Amino acid sequence: MTQSDALHPLPAGRKPWNRWRVGDDHADLSRAGHRVRPLTIAARPKNLTLDVSRTALLVVDMQNDFCSAGGWLDHIGVDYRPARAPIEPLRAALPCLRRAGMPVVWVNWGNRPDLGNISPALLHVYNGSGSGVGLGDPVPATGAAVLQSGSWGAAVVDELAVDQADIQVAKFRMSGFWDTPLDSILRNLGINTCLFAGVNADQCVLHTLADANFLGYDTLFLEDCCATTSPAFCWDATLYNARQIFGFTALASDVCRALEETQP
């Protein structure tokens, strides 16, 4: 029996090629190479080719408090309906991306009941007067605690079913990377390219995308799967920055069309 025959693979998580093979007196850290799956798609400011096997979809804040009647935005008098625009495009794109083997990562507010890791500055964002309904407070219409882990308000909208194989990451800032395991999860998956969807495009989506860029990930903002309740100029500035300094923008429908065209 050779040394190689005596080695056993450690559990690999979701990417079989990202694992060691070990025995009693030897550990092989070389990791088997993965098969590159190039996909060329229409994008701006230029078309691009990505590796499907190293790409993940990050869906940000498609939660009841932002997107549903009776949620926090609705309660404070903001028209939440624009935040629902990504629902149907995502319903179309999610099965396609899952079939292609792309991990789907839901990055959502999910605060601790004691708000122990939330700063005063962030509390002020959600309750500027100090006398309104803010993080952790019950919304009168539903009694659900605003963006608290396990509450109705923090749940993904009913129209977007979270698959058992999907990954869920709770966040506590406008970026999904601060104070969370998101970076570690993506690196263990071998991801180098992130597709972005969700709301608000100019706030939590953009700041998560920017941090991904700062950490060395390639970023692609999916225009048809993002939206905002902010003024129109915020959307325009988000598209400008996503293309000019952070990466690229594209349509999820074009990504799925390209995937379908590459299927045998």
Active site residues: 61, 171, 204
Q: Which residues pair with 57 in a beta bridge?
A: 104, 195
Contacts of 28 (CB under 8 A, 6+ apart): 4, 7, 20, 21, 22
Contacts by 129-137, CB closer than 8 A, 24 or more apart: 132/76, 133/72, 133/75, 133/76, 135/111, 136/111
CA distance 59 to 143: 26
CA distance 98 to 111: 28
Helix locations, 14-168, DSSP H: 64-67, 72-75, 87-99, 120-126
**Type of residue at 164:** Q
CA distance 43 to 48: 6
Residue 174 sits at the vertex; the CA angle it makes with 192 and 256, to the nearest 5 degrees, is 40
Q: Which residues pair with 8 in a beta bridge?
A: 22
Q: Which residues pair with 171 in a beta bridge?
A: 109
**What are the structure tokens assigned to 220, written together?**
């692609």
Cβ proximity of 111 and 147 under 8 Å: yes
**What SS3 class is residue 122?**
helix
